[in-house]
Structure 1
Amino acid sequence: MDDEEARARLLDAAEALFYADGIQAVGMDRIRAESGVPLKRLYRIFPAKEALLTAYLERRDRRWLTSLRAATAGAPDPIAAVFDWLAGWFAEPGFRGCAFMNAYGELATGPAGVLDVVRRHKAELRALLAELAGPDDDLADQLLILVEGATAVAALDPGPAPAHRAGAAAAVLAATSRRSAGT
């Protein structure tokens, strides 16, 4: 196994374990065991748990936002497509809410590098929603609140219903925004 394969295996194990069980509950030895990567190589690739956690969140950010962008690209109603995509995500087996908010909740006073990734993810999500909302900055902020709120509610009671309810509210807000803009 080369370092690239070892890195991928470590990130796969970290993602599965951190998301399912929480960051504090998962030690490096457990990640080593799950990944099959020797401990010496693990620490050569990721010298500290913070480095592994940061890499896991950065990879998840890229995949998550790429998937959401793909779901909205070319959609007749891209705002509705956001909430349809969320409904599918919320219904996935093992859904445990937002990995970024979960990390923030566990490490709110924790490593600055990890918290920077969380903040950057939320800023990128807000930027994507702003692209979809058009010139109405208030609508982008409102959509972000709906996305985050639906995700929090779905973490407590998984399933598509929170996304559908938030999507209905988003449709009303978008229609109001269009009327206000005169379009």
Structure 2
Amino acid sequence: MFFVKHPLTWLAPLALVAHSVAAEPFTLRSADIAHGEFMNQAQEFAGFGCNGANRSPQLSWSGAPAGTQAFAVFAYDPDAPTGSGWWHWQLVNIPSTVTSLPSGAGDAEQPRAPKGSQHARNDYGVAGFGGACPPEGHGAHRYQFTVFALSQPLELPAGASAALTGYMVKAHALGSASLEALYKR
């Protein structure tokens, strides 16, 4: 019996190797907060009846998609009794070489955020991080911290709204990774 070997048969072992080397998933983690766990008073707002330290948590990420040119970090409370949730933090244009933010990077008055990044105005009306401050007795609120991998740095006007910032980030997102912490008063 005579068999004709397919001319691309030699590629089969390479296909197996390529298939077994999967890309690392895009993940977000923190030394200060944990998914599904309650945050402590360090991440509580200082104002509106809250007495926390108003410190953004440490965040780090890995496995960004190919082609990532910048990152954005959001903190959002979908449970705020506003009809549209509450934006606690939006930091955009984090350089693609940066894969972590130290605790307190959300303080727009301190130079802890990466050079070139831009704080958007939060729903407290100021640029930077505004901590958790759910109404007393309102139960546990979810605080969604998300890092977005962006296809390009964003061009946002000074004082851009949270809605415009969110629109631009999602229009240029290659992927995202989240963790959801809790807080109640």
Scaled by the length of structure 2, what TM-score is found?
Answer: 0.30
Q: Higher strand fraction: Structure 1 or Structure 2? A: 2
Q: Higher helix fraction: Structure 1 or Structure 2? A: 1
- Higher RCO (CA 8 Å, separation ≥ 6 residues): 2
Scaled by the length of structure 1, what TM-score is found?
Answer: 0.30
